[in-house]
Structure 1
Amino acid sequence: PEIAKHTVNALPKPYSGAYLTTLCECTLLLFTMTMIQFQDIKKEDYLVVSTSPSQVVSGSNKKNNRSIFAIVGQRKFLIAAFGGFVSWSAMAVQMSATPLAMKGVGHSFAQATTAVEYHLLGMFLPSFFTGTLCNWFGSRLVMLTGFLVQLAGALLFQRGFQIRHFNLGLIIVGIGWNFGYVGASALLTQSHREEEKLKTHSLYEAIVMSGISIAFFSSAFIEQYFGWMVLTGRIISTYLGVAVLILIVDTVIALFKHENIRKQSSIDDVDAEIPA
């Protein structure tokens, strides 16, 4: 955002300088990636070795490598995918629509990029301790907290159109995204075995990325057609409110099932879970 702030008017046509700078950044990134030498790791180098008799026996048959349909049928996977989808989509709509709303009420491009910078700090700074919170309180409670924080950020936008409302609102939305997405990703790891992680994470990322795509492509239309107040006060607030209710029901079920929400299910427990 800071680079865009200084290059937006670098060329005669507005915004062309910022787009050209972004293109150069992406080219530099691709060139840097070609210089990285990744170690060639064979499949047998990272196979899980277990001394448990039950694990050894099960590892000798096809039971360990379940179909993707069996994995998707678990409540843990469904809630994790749901959490990742909602966290990303709700955040992306608000983040991408904020500059349009700020410009619509008379704020400058520099003020809009500063708001996005605050948002990025809210998104990534909590990562230093969010994983620890998942270990302390459980991934479900962290994800639920993230949804509630995002909801609080969306409602804060209803207070007005001043700079502080946009800056603080985006910070809170960013923090909520971090809690929701990290909590969902942590819960996902409890839904698969080691040999199933590739296809499980691939499907999870596909679901999450579809949510991001829908959010970014629709945010401008929703903001222009319905307005900023309707977008944040009704659409996003209702969306997050329903998601909170779903997570509360799932958390209550998990509490009754495990008696301890912080308990991490073992790989054997995955088979015992009742399908959704």
Structure 2
Amino acid sequence: MTVLAEAPAGIDDRLARRNALVLAVAQALAGGNTAVVFGTAGLVGTMLAPDPALATVPVSTFVVGQWMGTLPVGAIAKRYGRLVTFELGTLIGLFAGLICAAGVILGSFPLFCAGTLCGGLYAAAHLTYRFAAADTASDAFKPKAVSWVLAGGVMAGVFGPQLIIATKDMLPEYVFAASYLAQAGVAVVAALVLLLVRFPDQRSGEVRAAAPPRPLAVIFRQPRLITAVICALASYATMNLMMTAAPVAMIACNHSVTDAALGLQWHVMAMYAPSFVTGSLIVRNGTGRVIGAGLALTAASAVVGWAGTSLAHFWGALILLGVGWNFAFVGATTLVTACHTASERNKVQAVNDFLIFGTMALGSFASGQMLARDGWPLVAEVVLGAVLVAVALLGWVALAGRLRNIPEA
């Protein structure tokens, strides 16, 4: 089916730069929500759970909330616009912090899990900032817009832990309750920052298309889009699987909790720091090469992790995993934006994230079972196998000449 070219109205790189910078700041603030949950939910779960085996359930409910929120986020954005979706997300983020704090103060494990579920819904909204940054961007600037927003994750990786450290003991009888109250306050600040985002049409943030939207079944027959989704899925799901399992495996291999925490800190920095250059690399070298480099680094991470259990092996694997995720995920996100029209983008992006975070949720639950049954080597082997499948698909589509690169600036 041939799609008519879209009207150029709404394409404005100057506006896209402004929006990308605002959304990067909002991402740094909203990402603090995720950092607080992942940094404290397991510990709070240990204190509140009726059974120690349930201690990590609050983290899993966060991931499930993130998955559940993807399709509603897309539907709301299509009907009411990006800005309404973002502000609604921050409102849920406010409730997430308040509910989690109430769960800690009241000693209620179910209430605390409900709060982390809301935190996941908030994450589903703020993870679409990367797509919104590309809405008014030209093809040449889209990779940079996406990577600029994800660069906000660097600040989130620093800001979130510092927020925990500064607030965890402010209510001595209820450890971490103040951290969640502070996170609720940060969500309010993020809502104010988001008011600075501007779209050509404030109601929908969309430009008119010369052709009506196609059915999803038609859109998702595109080899480029299938490749983008599979590569994003492989990079995100394997990253989450390995990142979730690594701290437990490190402690099981007689490394300290501090060593595990430092390994995760370096991993988070490796995930987001490359965003300052990833967009330029895509413009210069093309999406296919950058995605391929990311998948290669992820495969190398699995090999390093499989090769040994020393501190150097764990840390090296986590750093390679972070950089590989960045290249593959930013590249795949950019490729998704090249596979739909403006009128189709909300539903396509929502389905893309639904598939990614659904697989991520399964990986979150599966990682513990893999470690308990066969240990850390099995995790590395699963990661390597998944990445090789994505590499094979990427290579096939590239050889078939169906993977067009984003034009150079």
Tell me which interval the TM-score lies in, with the shorter structure as reference length: 0.7 to 0.9
Does the Cα contact within 8 Å between 2:231 and 2:291 map onto a contact in 1? Answer: yes
Structure 2 counterpart of 1:251 = 398
Structure 1 counterpart of 2:223 = 75
Structure 2 counterpart of 1:132 = 280
Gaps of 5+ in 1: 11-15, 49-57, 265-276
Matched to 1:119, the amino acid is H
* Distance change in 2, residues 1:200/1:155 (3 Å): same
Determine whether 1:235 maps to 2:379.
no
Structure 1 counterpart of 2:332 = 184
Determine whether 1:29 maps to 2:186.
yes
Matched to 2:390, the amino acid is A
Shift in Å, 1:151:
0.5
Shift in Å, 1:79:
0.9
Give the TM-score normalised by structure 2: 0.54
Shift in Å, 1:189:
1.2
* Distance change in 2, residues 1:108/1:203 (3 Å): same
Structure 1 counterpart of 2:109 = none
Tell me, in whole angstroms, the C-alpha distance in 2 between the residues paired with 1:21 and 1:113.
22
Determine whether 1:91 maps to 2:234.
no
Residues 202-234 of structure 1: per-residue CA shift (max 9 Å, x gap): 1111111112211212111111212101221x2
Q: Secondary structure at the match of 1:64?
A: coil
Structure 1 counterpart of 2:365 = 217
Gaps of 5+ in 2: 1-38, 40-160
Tell me, in whole angstroms, the C-alpha distance in 1 between the residues paired with 2:266 and 2:388.
24
- Tell me which moved more, 36-45 or 143-152: 36-45
Does the Cα contact within 8 Å between 1:141 and 1:251 map onto a contact in 2? Answer: no
RMSD in angstroms over aligned alpha carbons? 2.8
Shift in Å, 1:29:
3.0
Structure 2 counterpart of 1:151 = 299
- Residue of 170, 175, 196 corresponding to 2:318: 170
Tell me, in whole angstroms, the C-alpha distance in 2 between the residues paired with 1:21 and 1:211.
32
Shift in Å, 1:130:
0.9
* Distance change in 2, residues 1:214/1:126 (3 Å): same
Shift in Å, 1:72:
1.2
* Distance change in 2, residues 1:37/1:188 (3 Å): closer
Structure 2 counterpart of 1:51 = none
* Distance change in 2, residues 1:206/1:44 (3 Å): closer
Matched to 2:271, the amino acid is M
Tell me, in whole angstroms, the C-alpha distance in 2 between the residues paired with 1:72 and 1:251.
17
Shift in Å, 1:23:
3.1
Structure 2 counterpart of 1:47 = 207
Does the Cα contact within 8 Å between 2:206 and 2:343 map onto a contact in 1? Answer: no
Structure 1 counterpart of 2:405 = 262
- Tell me which moved more, 217-226 or 171-180: 217-226
* Distance change in 2, residues 1:4/1:252 (3 Å): same
Shift in Å, 1:109:
1.2
Residues 33-91 of structure 1: per-residue CA shift (max 9 Å, x gap): 4545626853487525xxxxxxxxx82xxx33222222112111111111111110010
Structure 1 counterpart of 2:263 = 115
Matched to 1:70, the amino acid is V
* Distance change in 2, residues 1:225/1:44 (3 Å): closer
Does the Cα contact within 8 Å between 2:278 and 2:327 map onto a contact in 1? Answer: yes
Q: Secondary structure at the match of 1:140?
A: helix
Does the Cα contact within 8 Å between 1:150 and 1:176 map onto a contact in 2? Answer: yes
Spell out structure 1 runs of 4+ moving beyond 4 A. 1-7, 19-22, 34-37, 43-46
Shift in Å, 1:24:
3.8
Does the Cα contact within 8 Å between 1:138 and 1:262 map onto a contact in 2? Answer: yes
Q: Aligned pair count?
A: 241
Higher RCO structure (Cα 8 Å, ≥6 apart): 1
Does the Cα contact within 8 Å between 1:89 and 1:211 map onto a contact in 2? Answer: yes
- Residue of 321, 344, 347 corresponding to 1:199: 347
Residues 2-27 of structure 1: per-residue CA shift (max 9 Å, x gap): 559969x97xxxxx94x646534532
* Distance change in 2, residues 1:21/1:139 (3 Å): farther
Tell me, in whole angstroms, the C-alpha distance in 2 between the residues paired with 1:66 and 1:253.
24
Does the Cα contact within 8 Å between 2:287 and 2:406 map onto a contact in 1? Answer: no
* Distance change in 2, residues 1:149/1:25 (3 Å): farther
* Larger CA Rg, structure 1 vs 2: 1
Matched to 1:127, the amino acid is S
Matched to 1:42, the amino acid is Q
